[in-house]
Structure 1
């Protein structure tokens, strides 16, 4: 489903928009290493000073900060009126760099197990992203080289449908979790919203008046919407078990972003 979503998104964006955003990799790589390497290390240092590094919440925070942007990031950019081509670049660069940036985090948490499984999962995700994106670009070049307004609307509709199907699938475990322990789910949900929306707000505030203003929107989306599911399929079951409710709750702020945060993006980046 993720591959289909990426293909539809790449078909909507087109290779010209993505390549046009790829001529300046310096800001993209710099942003990736700040968001995926510096940020989790700073979070860990703060938690260490507070004596909280062994708690499930600390592990969840650091893993979120270390993860790359979600595969649906370009769709979020489209729905928020941001540059989806730049968001696609952040997605690919972040996933490609993840096997390197995640190593210090794995060293900080020995209980996460050997790094080889996490790296193999990251490489597998990268392969899916690259193949699906290239397929979408090829289809765009051959079928819709110069789409008209109605065709763009159709592609947008297809992207939203594919995005919605994944949302429903990822949120399905919340039903049983709420029935079993509603108070715990509520606390994890509040924590997830605080992390996701806090990162998006902070990124927008820090970049709105900087030279990175043209990419502030995509970077904010990437900062607050991370693919923590990479760890779900790679880490030992006994390690990830305490975080299963959080991972389910983590989908809520991410996929509610297009409904809850458009005003924030319009306020922070007016006329962009």
Structure 2
């Protein structure tokens, strides 16, 4: 079969087509949205099957760094936003609430797939996804306690537990079946799985953009404001993380960290918080899908340049310490 490898080669454009179709024909949402949980589970299964348990779990030494990064993303960042908004009385404003909830959310379920599409290793993203969901109830408690509009975090505990169960079931099944289905995976098998992931993500986007077209027709000014906020909230943290990691000469997990810095599962809060809180945020959540699914198309060159720069600086630093010549440190490094 050549269809899935073809979709894998053109995954970025396929997602753009799905995004445009979902905005142009919002009626398709009624066919896709009831299957959203199953689609997410299938996408996680495909990603975990491609990565495998050994790469996904990694060495125990990675756990400390992964946990530290997640605490910065899911706890320190939203608390910092609260500290900035509170003196101005903005905690109840929809834009501030949207940004705080976005920063408090766990990594997006499609983070491993998006990381792969920009040329990175998806294994660290999968580790962060699983651990981020595990610690989500604990990290949301202090954040929600400081947001009077939310009235506590009881709802999120149940929703987080359900999503964590889906993640563990899908990844666990994939890890168990990998020795049987992919005992010695090669490029052809990876191409099939990458194509399946691209197709699943394209279908999922159809269920998440239904609010954009009505807003474009009825209130275009409001849509423009929310869209600008969504692009800044999604791409801004990615660019900042890429810049910091590349300046520090740290290419390890660069793509996964940058991707998760800007891509969070804010949709989880739709099933956990009162409708009075989430309804004003539906348009933002719809707009947020646009930069999310455009990331592989518009950000891949930046990801590659930052990885090459970080790798070059890292080699230069090691050369200075060891006194060995490691060649041209500015040359792009060999990528997977």
Indicate the residue corresponding to 2:178 in structure 1: 140
TM-score with structure 2 length normalisation? 0.78
Aligned pair 1:8/2:46, yes or no?
yes
> Which residue of the other structure, out of 72, 91, 100, is the alignment partner of 2:138?
100
Take 1:22 and 1:174, find their aligned partners in 2: how far apart are those partners?
43
Aligned pair 1:83/2:121, yes or no?
yes
Take 1:180 and 1:10, find their aligned partners in 2: how far apart are those partners?
42
Take 2:121 and 2:170, find their aligned partners in 1: how far apart are those partners?
19
Indicate the residue corresponding to 1:54 in structure 2: 92
Cα contact 2:149–2:277 (8 A) shared by 1: yes
Aligned pair 1:128/2:128, yes or no?
no
- Structure 2 residue ranges without an equivalent (≥5): 1-38, 309-332
Take 1:63 and 1:21, find their aligned partners in 2: how far apart are those partners?
31
Q: CA deviation at 1:22?
A: 5.2
Q: CA deviation at 1:219?
A: 0.7
Indicate the residue corresponding to 2:58 in structure 1: 20
Indicate the residue corresponding to 1:265 in structure 2: 303
Take 2:305 and 2:222, find their aligned partners in 1: how far apart are those partners?
33
Moved more, 174-183 or 164-173: 174-183
Indicate the residue corresponding to 2:210 in structure 1: 172
What are the superposed Cα offsets for residues 177-210 of structure 1, whole Å, 9 maximum, x if unpaired? Answer: 3222222111101100001111001111112243
Indicate the residue corresponding to 1:238 in structure 2: 276
Secondary structure of residue in 2 paired with 1:69: coil
Take 1:228 and 1:51, find their aligned partners in 2: how far apart are those partners?
23
Q: Which has the larger radius of gyration?
A: 2
Take 2:235 and 2:154, find their aligned partners in 1: how far apart are those partners?
31
Q: CA deviation at 1:19?
A: 2.4
1:235/1:170 Cα in 2 relative to 1: closer, same or farther (>3 Å)? same
1:127/1:34 Cα in 2 relative to 1: closer, same or farther (>3 Å)? same
Take 1:244 and 1:229, find their aligned partners in 2: how far apart are those partners?
9
What are the superposed Cα offsets for residues 110-167 of structure 1, whole Å, 9 maximum, x if unpaired? Answer: 2213311111101111110011011112222211121121111111111111111101
- Structure 1 residue ranges without an equivalent (≥5): none
Q: CA deviation at 1:21?
A: 5.3
TM-score with structure 1 length normalisation? 0.96
Take 1:54 and 1:149, find their aligned partners in 2: how far apart are those partners?
51
